[in-house]
Structure 1
Amino acid sequence: MRRLVRSTAILGLGSAATVVAAILRSKILAAWLGPEGTGVLAQLAGLTAVLVPLATLGAGNGVVTMIAEARARGDLAKVRRITRTATTLAWTVGIGLAVLAALSSPWLARGIYRDAGFVWAILFCAAAVPLSAVASLRITMLQGHEAVREMAKLNGLIAAIGIGAIIPMAHFFGVKGAVAQIVVVAAAHAWLSGRFLRPLTPPRPPDLTGEEPRIDRSLLSTIARYGGSALVVGLSSTLTLLVVRSILVGKLGLSQNGIYQVCVGVSGLTMPLILNSITATVWPEIAAKPRDADAVGPMAGGIRLAFLLVTGVSAALLVGAPIWVRLFYSERFLPALDLLPFQFLGDYFRAAAWMFGVWLVPRQRLRPWVLFDVVYGVVLLAVFAVLVGRVGIQSVVFAYVAAHVSHAVLHYALARRALGFRLGKQNALLLGASLALLIGLAILRPRDMTGVAIGGAASLAWAGLVIQRREWIAIKDMAFRLLGRARPAA
């Protein structure tokens, strides 16, 4: 648990620049472009989230496991072959997808914007696809190497470059400049990720004669097995969300899509940061275990840390929402206050689903992983379709909650049956108290200082109830070490 906390803390601190950059970016877009401009970029982000996994052939999670397993066996030559093969495939498929997206840009623009005038945005997106795909894959390779510090440094550098690019480009060129900076950041990400990965990549074997192949055909079946499953899983969420948001644009307009982006933006910032930081340590540990049942130990520690962080961050954001929505967006985005409580409830169940199923990929249990994500996509679309005509934009967050509830229930049931997994007394208390806190805050919906004070008191009571004394001590010790301060004398 201590190692898990340390690794997560290093990544978290390294990603502090990412958080700051995302906040500044949101403020810039809100102030200069408003809800409609924010909605334009949100749709482009959704399209990118569909195309980039396709360009990687869904191999990211599989590459983490393959590299971790090869390293555990000391097979450094295989690590090199995995790296070269996956990177070459990403460049090749990414460029092909970029060409295809450019050729189909009029139809894509009409599909996601309901306006063929946004062809220019699709073209910028197409240019970024191969660059983002390679960068994404290299990040998963760093994860397979357990290169926590390198990942943290990379996060910080990309955050700085992103802010350095978007300020002048959005200021002078408006929405088009904000879209164009996506290509600039993607290029920087691809180059820097390669620099960080290079020292970790094993050198060419000295006994290898002739030209080293770019693609090792013996790895293709394994990559395809992981990738095919991952593509179905990824598209069940990203493509579903893009479809939902495109329907939302058609029914309610880009401005309402921009309002909803407040929810997507905060979840997209906090949830991957927390869950990916934990997974970077938990996945290699689980992959190295000899039996499926041995995954229970790493899972238990990961679940506890995930819910402490997700609930603490969600509660703080929900309590402070009346302040930070005004500060980091603008008054025009205040309707998002009615959506955020349900978004954070959905994030709770999203964390549950992820952590209950965190063992599936490293243990190569891909069929249930795929099936459960297909169910997630079906539930999301079905609930949204039923509710959108009745409750408008709230239908999206209601569907988000329902989909992740189904996802979490399925993953827990499988872990219980296949692994004999049990939450345990302390984790059951944590999950129950966390759910009660988020439901209470959803009912309270702080809007003024009185509500903020009540919500803050409830959050402190939650922390006092669920955080154990040894965890407070570990947090304090970790803080002193990470900040470079000497531990005070007892």
Structure 2
Amino acid sequence: MAFKGQQVSRVPVPERTSTSYSQILKSSSLIGGAQGIGLLLGMVRTKFAAVLIGPLGVGLAGNYLAIQGLVSTVAGLGIQSSAVRDVAEAVGREDREAIGRTILTLRRICWLTGLVGMLAMMALAGLLSRWTFGSDDHALEVAALGVVILLGNISGGQTALIQGMRRIGDLAKLNIVAALASTLITIGCYLWLGLRGIVPAMLLMAVVQLAASWHFARRVPVPAVRMSWWASLGASSGMIRLGLVFMWSALITALVAYLTRALITQQIDLEAVGIFGAAFSLSAMFVGFVLGAMGADYYPRLTAVASDRAAVNRLVNEQTEIGLLLAVPGLLATLSLAPWIIRLFYTDAFLPAAELLQWFVLGCLGRVISWPLGFVMLALGKGRWFFATETTFSLLHLALIALGLFVLGIEGVAVAFFVLYIACTLGVYWVAHRLTD
């Protein structure tokens, strides 16, 4: 896609033909190939983590990731997600000036919010350590994660640019580079430092992710525009308004993840967090592969046809069909072979995770079905509907987790996930049908 001497190609409107399916399959296979490589590397990374740092280390790493994810979500203001929509819209209008202003605004705001997030993490490190672990023992490590937030915010902005421009090939390459670097860094740090290598590994991975995203973002031809910082702040208002909807969705999800791990840590122990994390990570790894393969091109395409309700319905139906075709065989295999899979990716110390994995896999089927439907609200600009559904189901999830943990122990957390996605699938289907009917 070029801007000098060429017009920006218009995003095609999907039709009920083999062309639309082939486009979905083409982008899905491209990103899916990268996700597949990432999945294999993730398996290697997971196995080394299980052997080198055990359930205790996996639980500790999960808690650090939950803290970092929670603060990163607030710091990012959802801009990295809303910017995909803004960039895709500008490209669809063939408006070179709007493209340049949107991208410059995105980059500046990501720097600014990243700095604020880093300082907030450092200031709140002691408090977060006490809330999570019951003491200040991990405050220094939590403070160091502030740097991860800054670097992650900047690289997230670059990735949003690449996705909004629909440079699917570059996005696939970026995913491969990040997965390979993460694997090498994680193994090296765990071999060298053991449990003390968890935070250094997170820092180094953030550096590599930033370098890789910057490299691919620089290859995108962006129209040069003159714009003051004040103008960028003003232009960011619309991006932030939609971003706050994304942020709330991600925030409440991150909050549930954080509170889940904190509850397990305080009511059971860190090893139980490791067991939970092993099962949840395996289920999320597979379904993330499927949704990641579909999602890179789906949201920009859905946004581009948002004014045509019939086209929206066709695209959602096609995406759901493809998702089920990709996901069901793997989900059934995981459901049947859960104990063997736990031994393969972890060690015998993690075998209690097998029962949890089966419940998580059942929930993931509902996640695959509800996922394409959820984007309808965003593509149509129905932020209030999205806010309401995300809030309702996240609060339901948290209540189910607390009840399940009290009644069934650690297995109750997985049962809660399954029950949640039964309700979520039915609820999101009703909302999407109401908005597009």
For the criterion TM > 0.5, the same-fold answer is: yes
Q: What residue is the counterpart of 2:10 in the other structure?
A: none
**Aligned mates of 1:418, 1:160 — CA distance in 2:** 41
Q: How does 1:49-448 map to 2 (within 5 A)?
A: 49-205=69-225, 208=226, 213=229, 216-289=232-305, 290-420=307-437
**Aligned mates of 1:143, 1:270 — CA distance in 2:** 22
**Aligned mates of 2:373, 2:113 — CA distance in 1:** 32
Larger Rg: 1
User: After superposition, what is the alpha-carbon deviation per residue over 1:210-251, rounded to whole angstroms, capped at 9, x for unaligned?
Assistant: x76485244222112111111111112111121121011100
SS of 2:137's partner is: helix
Q: Which one is further off, 110-119 or 294-303? A: 110-119
SS of 1:116's partner is: coil
SS of 1:358's partner is: helix
Q: What residue is the counterpart of 1:430 in the other structure?
A: none
Q: By how many angstroms is 1:113 displaced?
A: 2.0
On the 8 A contact 2:39/2:289 being kept in 1, the answer is no
User: After superposition, what is the alpha-carbon deviation per residue over 1:375-407, rounded to whole angstroms, capped at 9, x for unaligned?
Assistant: 111111111222322210012112212222222
Amino acid at match of 2:120: L
SS of 1:382's partner is: helix
CA separation of 1:298 and 1:214: change in aligned 2, threshold 3 A: farther
Q: TM-score, normalised by structure 2?
A: 0.91
Amino acid at match of 2:112: T
Q: By how many angstroms is 1:200 displaced?
A: 1.5
Q: Alignment RMSD, CA only?
A: 1.7
Q: Which one is further off, 269-278 or 139-148? A: 269-278
SS of 1:359's partner is: helix
**Aligned mates of 1:77, 1:6 — CA distance in 2:** 30
On the 8 A contact 2:162/2:170 being kept in 1, the answer is yes
Q: Which one is further off, 17-26 or 253-262? A: 17-26
**Aligned mates of 2:341, 2:105 — CA distance in 1:** 45
Kindly indicate whether structure 1 or structure 2 has the higher relative contact order, using CA contacts under 8 Å at least 6 residues apart: 2
Amino acid at match of 1:245: R
User: After superposition, what is the alpha-carbon deviation per residue over 1:93-123, rounded to whole angstroms, capped at 9, x for unaligned?
Assistant: 2122212211221111111122321123212
On the 8 A contact 1:8/1:277 being kept in 2, the answer is yes
**Aligned mates of 1:146, 1:263 — CA distance in 2:** 33
Q: What residue is the counterpart of 1:37 in the other structure?
A: 57
**Aligned mates of 1:359, 1:115 — CA distance in 2:** 43
**Aligned mates of 1:312, 1:141 — CA distance in 2:** 33
On the 8 A contact 1:114/1:249 being kept in 2, the answer is no
Q: Percent identity?
A: 21
SS of 2:352's partner is: helix
Q: By how many angstroms is 1:43 displaced?
A: 0.8
Q: 1:15 aligns with which of 19, 32, 35?
A: 35
Q: Which one is further off, 244-253 or 82-91? A: 82-91
Q: TM-score, normalised by structure 1?
A: 0.81
Runs of 4+ with >4 A deviation:
211-215
Q: What is the count of residue pairs matched by the alignment? A: 416
